[in-house]
Structure 1
Amino acid sequence: MRKNLFGTLFIIVLACSCTNQPREINSNNSKELIIDIEQARTVGLSEFIQEMQYTPLKTPGNEFMGTIAKIIHNENYYGFLDKSKKSAWIYDKELNFINEISFPEGRGAGELEYFSDITFGKENTLYALGLFKFIKFDIDGELLKETVIRPQISKFVYDQEIDMLVGYMNNYTSGNLDENKVAYNLVYLDEDGTVYDMRLPIDKRKETMAFLTFENFPSYKNEHIFFSHIDFNIYRIDNFDIDVKYQLSFPNQGLTEDILNLRYNFERQSKFLNDEIRSRNVVYSIGSFLETENQIYIQYVQGRSGGYFVYNKENQESFVASKFINDIDNGSLPFLVSSDSTSYLGLIEPYDLIRHLHNLRDEEPQKFNDPKTRELISLVNTISENSNPIFIQAIAK
């Protein structure tokens, strides 16, 4: 009886809070980015990056960090989501350690089941997301609030202008249906978990189709950007309005409506993905979207692999890369997972960097002895294979 009553109350709140009529997604001012993957080539990082800055992350007592799955930042802090330790490491903008905030597994106070995301809130607070619950901390790690929610969101971002959290449903339908049984990918929630609005209806052909990404809500200046799985639109979230900022086009190589329609022939989405999409080697999703003042960086997924696209906003020139080589300092390639107005942000494991330079010394001594490699060699001499990750700022041209 309690379960039925809760469900009834939720539907009433949802019906009262959301807009009665779904608003159109505005694409009139969007820019089309044409990505011709047949032109893909090996590209040196120096074609779009002018400098690589490396900072080893230090922790009290050299405590080990786990697997970092996400980098967030605001005007004062960086936050690193530690998936294996179920925590967030907080650093100031000079990369001085501030705090580690832990989210133990469980259902008690300050605990989360299936910890999945973090986002900074107003006044330097931090939200952490788990299954049907989010919790709020101050920067010192004091628990401020915990909220049970109905929608099963997997990623979220805080929007300061409307003082709400915007959650991503990952193409799943759980607690995000309106009165007409339409499911939506974006859900607006207040601190009490009340659903105020839902946007971007989920295409039934794409239901349950989700892939691993570092960030579905990349930021650019004061904008919140959003991209979904099996979707070639890059959206801008402007309060309760959603605009298409960029439309990605893959001539003769992108997923088509005809292929998508074959989804109805399959009970399991995994079989549809393997038999009809990956087997055709088409581009079907976006793995990463990053934007700086002058550039756009995109990683796309094609078949069982993928590639990269970089667009210069000043001269409108672009290139497609099948892979990158580090011709800036002959180091190993970083994972670029976030950005600010001037740089791409990423991490590299000391183990990978040390092994890379050892291989360079043995197999390509000319590159190892190149003057531009010296600073990297000096850095490696200060760390060990067991050191914590190295934070990278790749300054865009």
Structure 2
Amino acid sequence: MGVKGFLTSAVAAGIKYQDRLDLGLIYSTNPAVTAGAFTTNQVKAAPVVIDMERLKHEGRAQAVLVNSGCANACTGKQGMADALQSSSLVAKELDIPENMVQLSSTGVIGAQLNMEAITAAIPKLVAGLGPDNFEAVAQAIMTTDTVKKTVRKTVMIGDTEVTLMGMAKGAGMIMPNMATMLSFVLTDVQIGFPELQKALLAGVERTFNRITVDGDTSTNDMVLVMASGEAKNDWIDEDSKAELELFQDTLESVLKELALMIVADGEGASKCITIRVCGAREDDEAEQVARTVANSNLVKTAFFGEDANWGRIIAAMGRSGVKFNPDRVDIAFNDVVIVRNGLAVGKEAEDEASKVLKERNFNVCIDLKEGNGCEEVYTCDFSIDYVKINADYRS
């Protein structure tokens, strides 16, 4: 079951590998209100540069062409020309303006697009458009992902049911702002562009910008939300505060589920961990401490080893740049307190904490006792497999 107003398609174009879905298309039968959030890396792939410019002027899109197997990043004038040619081919096949096409690529940086494969595949891709191929597109965007990542939710806006469907890919180079991740959300809501863009940026800030696998930010990251308006709900605009808040909360819940799927599928990961810091003077200080802990390789390897080594946690906190009194800090794994007022509670508590670390999902709860600031960051463990995957990535 898809989203009203959208058709999707995916094919095995042979961009890098044979017999593997690697080219996807999302098509809105009418121009859709479209919001975007993009990588903050100063090195940006050709598709990102093109998309940012088009959305800045239009706030609308009708198609998204996405490929895996090649990032089309650091590819110079040829890479830009190839991206524009891809856009032109899709626009012609769909009979829509070229500036209504968004482009997205993921894969190895520095390699040129296999334009022969893409050109040959586009007619078949367009011919295969249908309402039920969302999962196939989610598979086509995978690189080192081990599972597809999709979410579907509905919400009542007034007396009208609105649907949201989201997909994401990402397993490595995951560090805000955003990550080596792509995410596309389709919805049939009627909403203005400023309101959709605001809802997206707020949602991204609290979800995709709160995850880390390895502390790296890619060149291709993007999140696009397309709204077809086919639900025919009352328009959500600047005067629809309650409806906007409800839609924004639902969108954020979709993005959070996708974000946590990315962390859980982190390259080589065996655990998904929430780092929750409370008692900071301000929320941004809580986030800074949480992010430093979540990114610490020593902390993450301890998680992999199921070692309740809280010394690594408090050491990471101490280099976060946030001032706090170490003699007031409490640290717990789930509800097992292992540090109180900066001192170890004892071996029995540490043994109980080690049992928590054997779980697939758990929380690290830190209380600074300095104020009311509180934030969460989501991370995973750092395993031997992460090194193997990334050592062999280009082969």
TM-score range, shorter chain: under 0.3
Structure 1 length as normaliser, TM-score? 0.27
Structure 2 length as normaliser, TM-score? 0.27
Q: Which has the higher helix share?
A: 2
Q: Which has the higher strand share?
A: 1
